[in-house]
Structure 1
Amino acid sequence: MSLKNIGFVVFDDMAWAEFGVAIETFTRVHIPTDCGYGCRCYNVVTIGLTTEACRGHAGIEVNPDVDFRTAPELDTLIVCGGEPMRAPTLCKKVAKWLTYRAPTTRRIVALGTGIYPLAMTGLLDRREVATHWRAAKDVAIRFPGLRVHANRLFVKDGPFYTCAGGTAAVDFCLSLIEADFGRNLALKLARDLVVHFKRTGGEEQYSEPLQFQVQASDPYRLAELVSWILSHLGENLTVDALAQHACMSPRNFARLFAQSFGKTPAEFVAGARMTEARRRLLLPQATLKDVATSLGFKNAAVFSAAFERFAGMRPGTYRVRLGVTGKVHGVEQEVASTTSLLIGV
């Protein structure tokens, strides 16, 4: 198997978090062989304007392997983010080189503010893009031809991929690896990287759980409780059980929760279960019974009815629309009467 060349454009004061997690993710990818040694899948190349050392904003130096003039043919080209990419001088130089390289490169990627030079080429005009929420408004103003998604983690439109940056770079790189070498290898790598959940890109940058943690008026109990709920969605999540976990009386807990988050514990639990259900339904090997049981429902019929109330369609229809094929045991069992979520509230 021939290695796929992955090129990273590096520069002074680049965002180290995005570059670091992306390069670590790609260099960890190996396919097992009969001899017991893993076969590398990617050859990572760092590319600078020159071959002089670049110092990231965290103070860590990177010595580019090659410069723009001597860079090899690339399968994927990744432009890292960083404040200097907003500046016209650097942006124009990178944009000129991207224009030259685009016809011979299978994928061109922008992480965070790496979108500025790619947008300057005009290659993204009339395309959907994602970028960090702090830069989204400025990107939309400077490049009005772009269809900017200010809250998406990452977006693919043709051969161009744009990502919000930050920790979303991990999920994004996993999605590229999945496209190249399959879901099983990507999930194995996600486990090696201790990823809580491999996100698909359509999730919000400012997730609802984080919003709840930020809004919690009692950060020592309610904020921690949000994380606990999301990790125990298959368990008993009645008001009594949650109040006991928070070391509060049920009445006081329900009042404080609603005051802090603007919704009842029941509403929060129901929403959390349905959000997680949409993710688990994307797994082809998961049956409706598997998903229902893992999220605290009595059976697939109860889950199916609840999902239809939440999403406006039954789980089987949801999977079909997203192109998910797999086990469907118990998917479309008709519900004779209205059933409810097992939130016990």
Structure 2
Amino acid sequence: MQAPAIICHAMKPAMQPRHRIVIAAFGPAQMLDITGPLEVFAMANTCCRSAGRPAPYELVVAAPQAGPVMTTSGIALLASESIVDPALQADTVLIAGGVGARAAVRDSALIGALTALCRRVPRVASICTGLFPLAATGLLKQLRATTHWSHFDEFAALFPDVRLDPHALFINDGPWHSSAGISAGIDYSLSILETDMGRQLALEVARNLVVFLKRPGGQAQFSAPLAAEAAADDPHRFAALTEWIQHSRSSDLSIDRLAEPVPMSPRNFARRFVEAMNIAPAKYLEKMRIDAARRGLTDGTDSVARIAARCGFASAEAMRLAFRRHLDIGPHEFRARFRTAGPGKRAAHAA
């Protein structure tokens, strides 16, 4: 009697568990703080499925109670889980901002539950004023963080033991991350997508969402030209000149050179520029150059000397002194602090 044949079936590789992202929302919540990151990770899932790969993320919205959570836009979103549930699990928690997030710091029971959740999660981040409840947990003492520029003073008064950094779009300090206002949550989400899954997928997601990949964490919350325009009394008076300055950062932009196209005498130009823009021409130029240098330091690999020359500084030392004056940090330290992390370097911490 012939022995039965033994049929071997090739074992399929075990499916990798999906990375579970929980967005914690406190009504009324800032809608874009929730939907912006959600769309980044949902688009990553779509791109992976289209390429025949499994979706890498599981997305969950949680609130103090499961059910509708109101947003400041007047539209309710549905939270499927509760923040206070001790069984709630996540690989990443994103804490959305809004009026409700700032009010949550006064609810000791809610902050206690949030603290317990944060302690058992490998990566925790705040979006915009979501930094308020995260700081209320006490987990950020003596650590660097950022939030929306309009709430700096309010935050500093409540949490003086957190090292608030006004010069960053988003910050990672160990497992605790924070990002600035509203749309910066999209930039931050693209950055962690790049860390988790690589630059190629992050770039594909950015293209599909028609956004930049990505504003680096070291970029200011608003650009130097926008900040100058907001502070000016008459920004239109020298609009053509300031537009030209943004595209011509030659080191030879003296007062005489700037006055030529206006046309005015150098002395009259300097006086009229201050009247209109509330800033001296030399200071304006320096801010433009620092803005450009920040991008060069975080986005590329050129030397500090080459970036300094390209941005119109007289030397690398001149750029270093300007950085110290405006940012209280040197170019080399700035680059080390805000350079993009490579793929696969996911943050982790012990409970």
TM-score (norm 1): 0.71
- The answer for the alignment partner of 1:334 in structure 2 is none
Match for residue 118 of structure 2 among 102, 126, 131: 102
Match of 1:113 in 2: 129
Cα offset for 1:137? Answer: 3.0
Q: 157, 179, 182: which is aligned to 1:163?
A: 179
Aligned mate of 1:74, from 87, 90, 111: 90
Partner in structure 2 of residue 306 of structure 1: 315
| Distance in 2 of aligned mates of 1:319 and 1:89 | 37
Farther-moved stretch of structure 1 (57-66 vs 173-182): 173-182
Task: Tell me the secondary structure at the aligned position of residue 40 of structure 1.
Answer: coil
Contact 2:25 2:101 in 1 (8 A): no
1:21 corresponds to 2:30: no
2:343 paired residue number: none
Partner Cα separation in structure 2 for residue 130 and residue 288 of structure 1: 26
* Equivalent residues in 2 for 1:207-286, closer than 5 Å: 207-223=223-239, 226=242, 229-230=245-246, 248-249=262-263, 251=265, 256-261=272-277, 265=281, 268-269=284-285, 271-284=287-300
Please list the CA deviations of residues 163-222 of structure 1 after superposition, one character each: whole Å capped at 9, or x if unmatched: 232222222222222322234443454444444573333344454322211233334353
Report the CA distance shift for 1:132/1:71 in structure 2 as closer, same or farther (over 3 A): farther
Name 2:22's counterpart in structure 1: 7
Between the aligned partners of 1:114 and 1:133, the Cα distance in structure 2 is 13
Find the residue that maps to 2:315 and give its secondary structure.
Answer: helix
Return 5+ residue gaps in structure 2 as ranges.
1-15, 323-329, 341-351
Could you tell which deviates more after superposition, 6-15 or 37-46?
A: 37-46
* Matches of 2:155 and 2:236, distance apart in 1: 38
Structure-2 change in CA distance of 1:108 and 1:259 (3 Å): same
CA deviation after TM superposition for structure 1 residue 16, in Å = 1.6
Work out whether residues 94 and 126 of structure 2, in 8 Å CA contact, stay in contact via their aligned partners in 1: yes
**Is the contact made by 1:91 and 1:117 (CA closer than 8 Å) also made in structure 2?**
no
Which of the numbers 132, 141, 144 marks the counterpart of 2:148? Answer: 132
Structure 1 stretches lacking a partner, 5+ long: 298-302, 326-345
Count, aligned residues: 313
Bigger Rg, which one: 2
Query: How big is the shift at 1:14?
Result: 0.6
Structure of higher RCO (CA pairs closer than 8 Å, 6+ residues apart): 2
TM-score calculated relative to the size of structure 2: 0.70
Aligned-pair RMSD on alpha carbons?
4.1
Q: State the shift of 1:228 in Å.
A: 6.1
> Against the structure 1 CA distance between its residues 213 and 6, is the aligned structure 2 distance closer, same or farther, given a 3 Å change threshold?
same
| Aligned-partner SS, 1:201 | coil
Against the structure 1 CA distance between its residues 99 and 193, is the aligned structure 2 distance closer, same or farther, given a 3 Å change threshold?
same
Distance 1:38 1:230, change over 3 A: farther
